């Protein structure tokens, strides 16, 4: 090598100048300068997630700012300055980071003045000694473009090829082409983790397949249904469906889950799809019914109420996804056998309103609600009238409702009263609430004893309405269809028939799923099912895993029959 040559060594990042003397390298994690002494090291930085946002006029969205390195004991003040349109504002414009918040970050809310003309602002987050971050915020050029009142009307709905293959392989060819929900139940599900619950297809794979089905569908629009299901401390009252994130992992939920999904949904390739998101089932209702001020309470539900993990998580999801013009957010609203009592009904609507206005969200980000997700409450009970003569029965137990249709319609009315949009719509999951087969009653009983008469007349054959795990005797319900009843956007199959609710015994796993005794057919119950037997099917696998015996029973007991 000549004396004037420059070379770069292929180890430890060492580079040298023309003299062959190292100009800077890293040794055992310490930055060094050319004379072998410590160097200044990398400059810490400010990060923003997401860094590009779209917001409708009159609405707000949020971005999370955080630091890459801990500040000094006196803290670091980050100031936000705006360039571009004054129609978009930020709050707060000054944030002090300290030892308690530099990693989790602080949310900044960006609000757009009402209007439909194009407006773009760039906000720079800067602090002494830190590399700055920029956030680009654009006001959409119209009302939330592309949205219709009911996305299901006149549309096809995505058929998941992975579920289709399972259904067809297990005798379900008659229903294999039905649309079902795609569940994003872990961070790794976004890219595809080859697990029994999500298979090899990630979110983009499903969206690409939906685009292909849309292209084959001619001019008919295409709906794809995606379940957003990964809150910190998930399902605080049910061990079978616990998740990967701990109760204080809200920052991970936002940055590694919601923001990543939103980045994929924003891709231009998917702009023509109608993307229906089912927002966090079995979360907000738990904050009403399963805190320890109730006999049904758990300590984890207390934690999630106190730390606002569910409320702020749902609010963040609604704000982030609501800013995407072709997304329709439907928030889980439990079911009549959970929230139908006077003490639960109104408070549940209120907690949903609180979540819908948290983390920079507004009520406008909620397109509707969904009931009965992954549950088996009967759609209608034609042989029982709910009144003061039947409400005292053991089965109804003073509930205001006895089926999902009347509950969903009443929930919609109460939500409108609470300030949600007057055109808000409801979905009802009918994937497993048919209750057909030989045990289905064909008319009302004339028994003189109230409980005998109600038990002989009811369609729902569970032992108790609190039984939710793989109930024996269930059947496929109404097939998915649009606008089946006033106020109802669609009957849907969000829970794919044949996928387990939870294991009937403890099964070690890496999915964060515990063993819930409500899935054990030998368990005598707890206050949440009034200490009744569970009625769960035996030999069930982990939640989300294929359960062939259950699928066969759902086919046999389908109503309407196949």
- Give catalytic residues, as residue numbers: 235
| Neighbouring residues of 497: CB distance < 8 A, sequence distance ≥ 6 | 167, 172, 175, 180, 431, 432, 476, 551, 554
What are the beta bridge partners of residue 111? 60, 89
Cα(463)–Cα(395) distance, integer angstroms:
9
Residue from 483, 478, 484, 469 nearest 529 by CA: 469
Distance between alpha carbon 278 and the CA centroid of its chain, in Å?
6
Contacts 24+ apart (CB under 8 A), 436-439: 436/475, 436/476, 436/557, 436/558, 436/559, 436/560, 436/561, 437/473, 437/475, 437/556, 437/557, 437/559, 439/473
Q: Which one-letter DSSP state was computed for residue 271?
A: T
Q: Is the peptide bond preceding residue 92 cis, with omega within 30 degrees of 0? A: yes
Q: DSSP letters of 282-308? A: TSTTHHHHSSTTSTT--HHHHHHHHS-
Are 53 and 137 spatial neighbours (Cβ–Cβ below 8 Å)?
A: yes
Cα(254)–Cα(95) distance, integer angstroms:
19
Q: Is 214 helix (H, G, I), strand (E, B) or coil?
A: helix
| Neighbouring residues of 366: CB distance < 8 A, sequence distance ≥ 6 | 318, 322, 329, 330, 331, 352, 356, 420, 421, 424
The H or E element spanning position 168 is: helix 161-169
Longest dimension (CA), the chain: 108
What are the beta bridge partners of residue 89? 111
Alpha-helical (H) ranges within 266-403 are 286-289, 299-306, 309-322, 336-339, 342-356
Q: Are strands 481-485 and 182-184 parallel, antiparallel or unpaired?
A: unpaired
| Neighbouring residues of 88: CB distance < 8 A, sequence distance ≥ 6 | 55, 82, 110, 111, 112, 113, 119, 120, 121, 137, 139
Q: DSSP letters of 478-510? A: SPPEEEEETTEEEEE--S-TTB-SS-SS----S
Are 511 and 541 spatial neighbours (Cβ–Cβ below 8 Å)?
A: no
**548 phi, psi to nearest 5 deg:** -60, -40
Q: What is the dihedral of CA 539, 543, 546, 552, to 10 degrees?
A: 60
Here the tokens at position 89 are 């504002």
Cα(163)–Cα(265) distance, integer angstroms:
22
Cα(324)–Cα(53) distance, integer angstroms:
9
């Amino acid at each position: 090598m000549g004396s004037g040559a420059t070379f770069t060594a292929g180890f430890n990042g060492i580079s040298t100048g023309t003299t062959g003397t190292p100009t800077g390298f890293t040794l055992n994690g310490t930055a060094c300068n050319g004379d072998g002494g410590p160097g200044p090291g990398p400059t810490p930085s400010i990060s923003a997630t997401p860094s590009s946002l779209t917001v409708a006029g009159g609405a707000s969205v949020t971005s999370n700012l955080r630091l890459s390195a801990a500040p000094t004991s006196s803290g670091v003040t980050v100031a936000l300055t705006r360039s571009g349109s004054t129609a978009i504002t930020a709050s707060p414009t000054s944030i002090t980071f300290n030892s308690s918040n530099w990693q989790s970050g602080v949310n900044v809310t960006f609000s757009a003045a009402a209007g439909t003309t194009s407006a773009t602002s760039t906000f720079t987050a800067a602090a002494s000694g830190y590399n700055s971050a920029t956030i680009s915020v654009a006001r959409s050029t119209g009302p939330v473009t592309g949205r219709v009142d009911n996305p299901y009307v006149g549309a096809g709905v995505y058929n998941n090829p992975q579920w289709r293959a399972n259904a067809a392989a297990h005798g379900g060819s008659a229903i294999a082409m039905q649309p079902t929900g795609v569940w994003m139940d872990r961070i790794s599900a976004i890219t595809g983790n080859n697990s029994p619950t999500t298979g090899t297809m990630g979110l983009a794979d499903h969206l690409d397949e939906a685009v292909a089905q849309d292209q084959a569908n001619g001019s008919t629009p295409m709906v794809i249904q995606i379940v957003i299901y990964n809150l910190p401390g998930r399902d605080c009252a049910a061990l079978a469906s616990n998740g990967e994130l701990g109760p204080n992992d809200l920052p991970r939920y936002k940055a590694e889950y919601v923001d990543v999904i939103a980045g994929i949904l924003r891709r231009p390739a998917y702009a023509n799809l109608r993307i229906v998101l089912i927002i966090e089932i079995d979360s907000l209702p738990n904050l009403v019914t399963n805190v320890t001020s109730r006999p049904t309470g758990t300590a984890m539900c207390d934690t999630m109420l106190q730390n606002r993990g569910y409320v702020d998580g749902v609010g963040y999801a609604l704000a982030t996804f609501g800013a995407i013009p072709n997304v329709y957010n439907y928030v889980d609203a439990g079911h009549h056998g959970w929230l139908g009592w006077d003490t639960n009904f109104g408070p549940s609507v209120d907690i949903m309103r609180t979540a819908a206005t948290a983390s920079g969200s507004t009520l406008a980000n909620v397109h509707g609600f969904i009931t009965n997700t992954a549950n088996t409450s009967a759609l209608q009970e034609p042989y029982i009238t709910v009144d003061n003569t039947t409400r005292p029965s053991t089965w109804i137990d003073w509930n205001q409702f006895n089926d999902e249709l009347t509950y969903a319609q009443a929930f919609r009315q109460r939500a409108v009263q609470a300030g949600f949009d007057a055109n808000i719509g409801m979905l009802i999951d009918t994937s497993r609430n048919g209750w057909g087969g030989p045990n289905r009653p064909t008319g009302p009983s004339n028994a003189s004893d109230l409980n005998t008469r109600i038990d002989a007349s009811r369609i729902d054959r569970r032992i108790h309405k609190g039984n939710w795990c793989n109930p024996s005797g269930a059947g496929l319900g109404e097939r998915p269809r649009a606008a089946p009843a006033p106020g109802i956007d669609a009957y849907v199959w969000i829970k794919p028939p044949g996928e387990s609710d939870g294991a009937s015994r403890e099964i070690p796993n890496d999915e964060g799923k515990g063993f819930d005794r409500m899935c054990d057919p030998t368990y005598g119950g707890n206050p949440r099912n009034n200490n009744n037997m569970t009625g769960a099917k035996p030999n069930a696998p982990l939640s989300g895993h294929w359960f062939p015996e259950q699928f066969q029973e759902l086919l046999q007991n389908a109503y309407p029959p196949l």
